[in-house]
Amino acid sequence: MAAQRLITPPKLKKGTMRIVPLGGLGEVGRNMAVFELDGKILIVDCGVLFPEEEQPGVDLILPDFSYIEDRLDDVVGLVLTHGHEDHIGAVPYLLRRKPDIPLIGSTLTLALIEAKLAEHRIKPYTLAVKEGDVEELAPFECEFVAVNHSIPDALAVHIRTEAGSVLHTGDFKMDQLPLDGRITDLRHFAKLGEEGVDLFMTDSTNADVPGFTTPEKEIGPTLDQLFGTSSRRIIVASFSSHVHRVQQVLDAAHAHNRKVAFVGRSMVRNMGIAAKLGYLDVPEGILVDMKKVDSYPDSEVVLMSTGSQGEPMAALSRMANGDHQIQVGEGDTVILASSLIPGNENAVFRVINGLLKLGAEVVHKGTAKVHVSGHASAGELLYCYNIVRPKNVMPVHGETRHLIANGRLAESTGIDPERILQCEDGTVVDLRDGVARITGQIECGYVYVDGSSIGEITDADLKDRRTLGEEGFISVITVVNRQTGQIVSGPDIHARGVAEEEKVFKDIKEKIARALTEAIQDNKEHTTHQLQQIVRRTIGSWVNRKLRRKPMIVPVVVET
């Protein structure tokens, strides 16, 4: 899938629906799609992407809201398919711009986002829906369909309009033995297929995985066996929203007479919400406060923690580094009950290595069946294409390899390749009379959250940070007299992160001084910036040639 060229889309005609993904295509995260018809806008999902190693200092990555920023008054609603961070995490940042955008979602999804919004001091307007409900958000009619995922209460949304219909699956799989008994409603999918689905936007995350995703129930026996053979503390790391996995941990702990403590603020908050709403069945007396864990023997304790993706500030990473109140030791069992999100591999392996050094036994998906994916594999997607028989297909939610694999599955079921739209973030798709066409490409970049800064950090800033971290820093301070053309002081060279002794820079100091003196004497009209650039070029070429490095260079020329 080649990168799309920026092409300004044509003016949207009345009666045509425009679909613009602002995130989630080409990446696993920051899912967001905008639907526009007759001057009104409907949004489906608004999630975050977590940074990778080449984005140092970044906390979160948001969708680029600039496409709709000046039209937030036209937004009739924001549909949230489920409560995972990559689908709801950016909602607070959108609602900062317009707090009264209606949020539509299931009971659990809304409870999770309301708790998050409370931290941002935003009280949202919400509308709770369940499978089978139909809501008029003129000119869009939204019908909600139950889907099975790794969090309860997930929903697909079918959008009916005069321009055509769209079935957006959100994240889903077809587990036939779900822990909560709530399966993906294929009968409803079939009914919508009979009615006619003009555009099928379907989860691509596991499109390149053959067969069918393993049922959640197969995890239970593995956990039970690990709990039965562990003689000391058990630490289970999972996503803080994975209610099904936490339920299995609670059940195994109860069967082996262990107490469970939740570790990590988001884990405590989310499981409290899930239990209160009845999505988590907590055996009486099994939960204990983290502060009281030490009063129980190690053989009677289970810690349910965040940090399964190696996040630096999450509880498990801090345990691996030895700077958490929980000290992992010889004989402890650590279970990583999650899949690796692409880009997090190195961080997770660092945590595993740190835990092993401390003497813990580490169990993960690669060594035991302690996690299954929440996404439909190729066999399940084929079923969906054959049931829905859509006129047009737009693979969503995945890296480029996932989107292409999903498109090939659609083609294998007989869908015309010209009706399979391989898009990326910012691709403009227009739907009318059963035909979906790519009509343009808008600019759609990353928006970085860095502490309290939102959108101020640029790719150039990140390049500077990477340079500082990988190559080091050299500053050169020189005081010159423009009238005499002489060096008054310096050049003084200060290096950080460059493993060289100060005497190494002796020769280059003389070259810098000579270059500056010649420049001033030849042309006294040189600006300070031009003189600094002479310093930068002189030391830069020398460092590159002599030291084989490309550090950040900050030249300072002071005139007297």
Q: How far is CA 537 from the centre of its chain?
A: 39
Annotated binding site for substrate: 371-375
- What letter represents residue 53's amino acid? E
Distance CA 409, CA 392 (A): 13
For residue 8, CA distances in Å to 4, 40, 246, 443 come to 12, 20, 47, 9
Distance CA 143, CA 167 (A): 9
Cis? peptide before 63, omega within 30° of 0: no
Distance CA 39, CA 504 (A): 66
Closest CA to 98 of 119, 127, 68: 68
- DSSP summary character for residue 28: S
Annotated binding site: 371-375
Query: Where do runs of H (alpha helix) occur along 437-547?
Result: 459-471, 506-522, 528-546
Determine if residue 48 is left, alpha or beta; phi over 0 gives left, psi from -120 to 50 gives alpha, anything else beta. Answer: beta
In whole angstroms, how large is the CA radius of gyration of the chain? Answer: 28
Beta carbons within 8 Å of 425's beta carbon, 6+ residues apart: 21, 22, 23, 24, 25, 26, 27, 63, 64, 444
Beta carbons within 8 Å of 164's beta carbon, 6+ residues apart: 17, 198, 199, 431, 432, 433, 434, 436
Beta carbons within 8 Å of 492's beta carbon, 6+ residues apart: 476, 477, 478
For residue 485, CA distances in Å to 59, 537, 548, 560 come to 48, 20, 32, 11
